[in-house]
Amino acid sequence: LKAKNEKGKIEKNVWEKIKKAIKENKNLFIEGEEDLMAIPAVLLSPKNSVVIYGLFNKGVCAIEVSKKIKKRFRNLLKKFLTQNHKK
């Protein structure tokens, strides 16, 4: 599966693509800015799963999805939403 995402944003359509990728157990390739895609990927993934993504010039990162991690990512997302509404 493929999706496009603008820099510094998490596009609404990407959330839907991530849901589909998880449901169909497929990889998702993001064209454009993918740095923030770990946030919806973790929030949408079931507990005890693993979200794997690449870090440019670094390698691969793996996040084990747990209740605690989901809470951290929800709080992180809230910070982004709050900052965007202040602009």
SS3 for the chain is: CEEEECCCCCCHHHHHHHHHHHHHCCCCEEEECCHHHHHHHHHHCCCCCEEEEEECCCEEEEEECCHHHHHHHHHHHHHHHHHHHHC
Q: Report pLDDT for 84.
A: 58
Q: Report pLDDT for 34.
A: 83
Q: Note the pLDDT tens digit of each residue in 11-69.
A: 889 999 999 999 999 999 999 888 889 999 999 999 999 999 888 889 999 999 999 99
